[in-house]
Amino acid sequence: MTATLFKTVLRDQLRRPWLTLLMVLSVALGVAVVVSVDLANQSATRAFKLSTDAVVGKATHQILGGSRGIDEGVYRDLRVKRGNRFTAPIVEGYGSAKELGNQTMHVLGVDLFAEPPFRTYLTANTQVSLDAFAAFLTQPNTVLLSADTAARFGLKVGDQITLVTGTQERPVTLVGLLRSPNDISSRALEGLLLTDIATAQELFGMVGKLSRIDLIATPAEAQQIAATLPGNLRLAPASEQADTVTQLTAAFQLNLTAFSLLALAVGMFLIYNTTLFSVMQRRRVLGILRCIGVTGREIFAMILLEAALAGALGGAIGLGLGILLGRLTVGLVTQTINDLYFSVTVRGVDVDTLSLVKGMLLGIGAAASAAALPAYEAARVPAITVLQRSDLETRVRRWLPAATLGGIGAIVVGAALLGLVETSVAVSFAGIFIALLGVTMGVPALTVAFMRFATATLGRVGLVGRMAARTVTQALSRTSVAIAALMVAVSVVIGVTVMIASLRATVENWLSQTLVADVYITLPLQDPIAAAAMDPALAEKVRAVTGVSSVDLVHYSTAHSQEFGDVRLTAVTSVRNRLLKASNVNDAAARLQNGAVLVSEPFANRHRVQPGDRITLATDRGAQAFPVVGIYYDYSSDQGLVLMSLDTYRRYWDDQSISAIAAYTAPGANQNQIEDAIRVALGGACGGPSRPSATLSHPYPSERNERGSSRFAMSVGLPSAQVRNPGSEPGSGPGAGGDCAPVVVQSNKALRDSALVIFDRTFAITLALRLIAVVVAFIGVLGALMALQLERTRELGTLRATGMTLPQLWRLTLLESGLMGATAGLLSIPTGVLLSAVLIYVINLRSFGWTIFFEPAPEVYAQALAVSILAALLAAVYPMLRLGRLQVTDALREE
């Protein structure tokens, strides 16, 4: 391309600032959404990885224990008797403190003398003073905290912090601050509370026990050590933990990314439309260029370059917007990850260069690929026909059958991808994109059909009505693209809204059927690592309260399976409120008593486990195979759960504790009074001996998050989600205080409401994405209408000159726009319904493994139609204002 041709590219963009702006804006919005989601995902993942790396340190392996942790003797044996110097004992768990804004902190109990080869918190790099060292070593209940975290909460050395762990509420003293020489290691320390191992053992009720033993060992050494471990312990590579966490959120993050890409895809329609319009507008100029010797390839390159330039500019703006938006998104993503998966402290958006480069390339790529068709269109037309104005529209109509057939083909391919490939969520999303593309290819033909109908109907109203419908058909190359863009955006809104409404209805229904007890008694902080437990004697106290007719007990734990990794285990006294999938609940209850287990639907889907299979778990009695007798519906964990009777659990694990109590009241009893009576009965009660869980990688923690609300952890009908409702404040009950964290007593309704609050928060981010998709589509319709008007300036001038009044022209514009909106809205309903069905029956099932019952939402369809028409009518406002300024004489001169 010559320098002069390049100048035409640049100046063309400057001469059509509105079109360029539309193009830039659509790329910017699309890129912003993609980048913000990517940054949020990356930030959360990196923050977790940093803290995991900080906690794991240089360890190559970890010894992980059975249900009750590792006996200290194992460590002593390893280090002293066998001389393995590179070993370090760890006791860890989660805790929170008001002084730290109720943020969940990772409490790590270490042995200072064993630490140096493993972790660098206490080296010269972190600049911990000698005084702090001395205090840390000699005084009980002392902690170290990162200087950044301390500064954030206005804490200084010597301050007291009231630390709440699963069963304890204990004051500890901040004796030193960990300062990191650089930002990365500083962020690794974020959310970490370092304490002496003995203090940690007391905090988590693990005196004489360890959570794990870290090792630095060659594979051969590791093999040797593994061979000598007691039966209930295992040696695992240190990387296992980080891998498990990555897998946990993979589906969630992929879903978010796919939705963000959809916003960019909608933006691409707009770019296509804008480019096509710019080609149409410059058809004669392009014709001249072809006549004076510019080749088709050069024209193609010119138009592609134009789009790429707009894409680059939009991309750059999108990156900035994305970083800003990322600050909001990272909060939402972190919130969801904290609600559903694991605890992570993300201080801010990590502006990752790779994310920015990806965003920029996506922007340029999206713009260039969206412009490719119009560019090809301009390039392949023989020079002679470039000079003929209506050629494109003629050919668009000629291509209608082929485009429609192609569309049907794309739908079939998309459906095949959705149906044939069973496991990959990414491929399923590709299927959705291809099928959506297929539907959009059918839009021109459907638009023609709609307009035929509209001509017949509106023709009765008058000439303006007929003209409006015909204009939409005559400018099909642009109107159909605007309609397709709006249709895709609105159908995505319908699809996602119906999917979320269905999931919400399903969860609500599930909650109402499984949360059947009247009062729930849970721990203030469910610890994913040092899973706290309450004294079983509390159950008797609850049972003794007047008005309580019966109680169910629940116990949460994690057990290791060679086949499935760490398995979340729920042990219950009753399965009466479980919703079983295709099995009889009474049969299942009977068989559970005999040692069988149920698996949750996500577990069954994820691990392809069927009734009749057996699950082998490491127990305190060695490996034990449990027959699976049924699958039950559960929406609390997408990782899946294994349910067994509490008796069975106690038979194989040396653990008598419980995690929660569900109390049933007698018919007609006063709920509030009973609730209060239970509080009084349990006054100040806290857990009994707590019990360490098997490994760090507990897939489903349910502790209070940093905003003080609860997690969506409602496993098997006895949720551990806690919202502190008035009167259930830990510490507020009689007898509260000291070293004891009181249990939380709350009503069925409070628990159910809190679960739904978390549900709604989880989907807040999709609401933002839906809105952006509609905004982009709105801009698309506006662009198409403006393009139509600019191109028809002469025609409009003629109409004015021949006596059409301004209000008549306004009516014409409104009608054209309204027809486009109505067509998009009508087409979006069946597309949206199909999309929601695919999201429900394919994407959700494959991503999270749960069945959602389709909930038809007629009000959503009506709203969608209204939104489409309204968006289109609003988009007509600016073109109408332009009409008011139209100078008839100038318009007639327009060439």
Please give the residue ranges that form the binding site for other proteins (CB under 8 A): 2-5, 7-8, 11-12, 15, 284-285, 287-297, 382-384, 895
Q: How far is the CB of 448 from other proteins (least distance, A)?
A: 20
Q: How far is the CB of 400 from other proteins (least distance, A)?
A: 18
The whole-angstrom separation of Cα 496 and Cα 774 is: 13
The whole-angstrom separation of Cα 91 and Cα 108 is: 6
Nearer Cβ to other proteins (295/594)? 295
Nearer Cβ to other proteins (297/707)? 297
Q: How far is the CB of 881 from other proteins (least distance, A)?
A: 25
Q: How far is the CB of 295 from other proteins (least distance, A)?
A: 5
Q: How far is the CB of 382 from other proteins (least distance, A)?
A: 6
Name the DSSP class of 717: G
Show the beta-strand stretches assigned E in 469-547.
519-522
Residues 6 or more apart in contact with residue 821 via CB below 8 angstroms: 486, 781, 868, 869, 870, 871, 872, 873
Query: In one letter, which amino acid is 654?
Result: D
Nearer Cβ to other proteins (7/76)? 7
Helical spans, DSSP H, in 515-584? 537-544
The whole-angstrom separation of Cα 270 and Cα 439 is: 17
User: In the structure encoding, which two tokens stand for residue 417, read together?
Assistant: 């991808």
Name the DSSP class of 640: -
Nearer Cβ to other proteins (252/300)? 300
- What crossing angle do the helices spanning 17-56 and 296-340 adopt, rounded to 10°? 40
Nearer Cβ to other proteins (296/320)? 296
Residue with tokens 């370090």: 88
Nearer Cβ to other proteins (1/888)? 1
Residue with tokens 């490939």: 421
Q: How far is the CB of 471 from other proteins (least distance, A)?
A: 24
Residue pair 106/192 in contact by the 8 Å Cβ criterion: yes
Nearer Cβ to other proteins (394/594)? 394
Nearer Cβ to other proteins (353/889)? 889
Q: How far is the CB of 440 from other proteins (least distance, A)?
A: 30
Nearer Cβ to other proteins (5/874)? 5
Residue pair 214/59 in contact by the 8 Å Cβ criterion: yes
Query: In one letter, which amino acid is 851?
Result: T
Q: How far is the CB of 18 from other proteins (least distance, A)?
A: 16
Angle at 386 between CA 381 and CA 387, to 5 degrees: 160
- The three-state DSSP-derived secondary structure of 415-463 is HHHHHHCCCCHHHHHHHHHHHHHHHHHHHHHHHHHHHHHHHHHHCCCCH
Q: How far is the CB of 354 from other proteins (least distance, A)?
A: 37
Nearer Cβ to other proteins (749/893)? 893
User: In the structure encoding, which two tokens stand for residue 384, read together?
Assistant: 């002679």
C-alpha dihedral sign at 56, 57, 60, 63? negative
Q: How far is the CB of 874 from other proteins (least distance, A)?
A: 32
Q: How far is the CB of 253 from other proteins (least distance, A)?
A: 45
Q: How far is the CB of 449 from other proteins (least distance, A)?
A: 23
Q: Helix (H, G, I), strand (E, B), or coil: what is residue 305?
A: helix
Show the beta-strand stretches assigned E in 503-635.
519-522, 548-561, 565-572, 580-581, 597-600, 614-619, 622-632
Nearer Cβ to other proteins (293/858)? 293
Q: How far is the CB of 404 from other proteins (least distance, A)?
A: 23
Q: How far is the CB of 889 from other proteins (least distance, A)?
A: 17
Q: How far is the CB of 19 from other proteins (least distance, A)?
A: 13
β-bridge mates for residue 599, sequence order: 631, 642
- What crossing angle do the helices spanning 537-544 and 671-681 adopt, rounded to 10°? 140
- The three-state DSSP-derived secondary structure of 801-830 is HCCCCHHHHHHHHHHHHHHHHHHHHHHHHH
Q: How far is the CB of 293 from other proteins (least distance, A)?
A: 3
Nearer Cβ to other proteins (306/638)? 306
Which of 729-734's residues contact partners 24+ apart within 8 Å by CB, and which partners? 730/164, 730/169, 730/524, 731/169, 733/679, 733/682, 733/683, 733/684, 734/679, 734/680, 734/683, 734/684
Nearer Cβ to other proteins (7/621)? 7
Strands 622-632 vs 597-600: parallel, antiparallel or unpaired: parallel
Nearer Cβ to other proteins (371/571)? 371
Q: Helix (H, G, I), strand (E, B), or coil: what is residue 502?
A: helix
User: In the structure encoding, which two tokens stand for residue 427, read together?
Assistant: 């491929």
Q: Helix (H, G, I), strand (E, B), or coil: what is residue 9?
A: helix
Q: How far is the CB of 285 from other proteins (least distance, A)?
A: 6
Nearer Cβ to other proteins (306/350)? 306
Nearer Cβ to other proteins (5/516)? 5
* b/e sequence 742-771, b meaning 16+ C-beta within 10 Å: bbbbbbbebbbebbebbbebbbebbebbbe
- Give the CA count within 13 Å in the CB-facing half-sphere of 431: 23
Residue pair 703/525 in contact by the 8 Å Cβ criterion: yes
* Class of residue 892 by CB neighbours under 10 A (exposed 0-12, middle 13-18, buried 19+): middle
Residue pair 363/322 in contact by the 8 Å Cβ criterion: no
Nearer Cβ to other proteins (9/143)? 9
Nearer Cβ to other proteins (11/82)? 11
Q: How far is the CB of 3 from other proteins (least distance, A)?
A: 7
